[in-house]
Amino acid sequence: MANLIDRAVESFKRVGEGLKTVFIHSFREPTTQEYPDKIQDLAAHFKGRLALAVNPDTGDHLCISCRQCERVCPDKCIEITAHKSPETNKLELIDFKIDHGLCMFCGLCTEVCPTTCIINTNDFEMADYTRESLIYDIKRLTLTKDESNYYFDKKELPRPKPKPAPKPAPAKPADGAAAKPAAAGDAAAKAAAAKAAAAKAAAAKAAAAKADGGEAKADAPKADA
């Protein structure tokens, strides 16, 4: 009988502890959120869907087709197509594909990118009906200028450096200004030529006079002894 009473008392104690826990938690704020009606704020460095950023100021594509992300990817889910331009002798991007069905979102591709082109966005809702739909081409991967600007600010990414302005072409001189130096140069050349001709004529004249003086001296009669 005593054992039965002890068991009953112990049961009431356990029930009281459970009710106490329920009573305490009934006054607390809920820890769960009503997703998707309420979405939690994601961290700045959240690793979501991959995307290609553009220059927020000019809209130029930042990918230089270096293929570093393609080589470092452990899942081999990145495929880049590029060709060398005969005009600039640089690689030009043709297509950029990422298979998000294979990607494990490790972030290695974003770390090795020298131009901060490939980044992790905050988008994680990529559920689809086919695996082919998870393969994003360059059109689906490329962000707009506003989206790129948002992620550069939110994730505190280094912004692309502005391209140096092209050097201005030297101004062409006017026809009159070009003709004037040419005329001055011709006059100087003519004066130098005339001066050289005069000096040459004077030298020839002096040589002739010297020769005539020598002949006259030789023809003069000697005095009788």
Give the CATH number for residue 122. Answer: 3.30.70.3270
36 preceded by a cis bond (ω within 30 of 0): yes
Question: What total of structural domains would you count in the chain?
Answer: 1
User: 11-15, 95-99, 117-121: lowest mean pLDDT where?
Assistant: 11-15
pTM for this one? 0.60
Confidence check: pLDDT of 203 > 50: yes
CB 80 within 8 A of CB 67: yes
Is residue 133 one of the residues assigned to a domain?
yes
Domain that holds residue 57: 50-154
Q: Does residue 222 or residue 75 have the better pLDDT?
A: 75
CB 57 within 8 A of CB 162: yes
What value does the mean pLDDT of the chain take?
83
Is residue 13 one of the residues assigned to a domain?
no
Residues 6+ apart with CB under 8 A from 136: 50, 97, 98, 100
Confidence check: pLDDT of 218 > 50: no
pLDDT at 40: 81
pLDDT band at 107 (very low <50, low <70, confident <90, very high): very high
- What is the token pair recorded at 115? 């131009």
Per the document, the length of the chain is 225
Q: Among the ranges 29-33, 89-93, 157-161, 182-186, which has the highest mean pLDDT value?
A: 89-93
Q: Which residue has the tokens 């002949």?
A: 215
Residues 6+ apart with CB under 8 A from 1: none
Is residue 106 one of the residues assigned to a domain?
yes
Is residue 128 one of the residues assigned to a domain?
yes
CB 49 within 8 A of CB 127: no
pLDDT band at 132 (very low <50, low <70, confident <90, very high): very high
Is residue 105 one of the residues assigned to a domain?
yes
Is residue 187 one of the residues assigned to a domain?
no
Is residue 167 one of the residues assigned to a domain?
no
Cα gap 96→135, rounded to integer Å: 10
Confidence check: pLDDT of 101 > 60: yes
Is residue 138 one of the residues assigned to a domain?
yes
User: 38-42, 51-55, 71-75, 78-82: lowest mean pLDDT where?
Assistant: 38-42
Q: Across-strand partners of 78?
A: 98
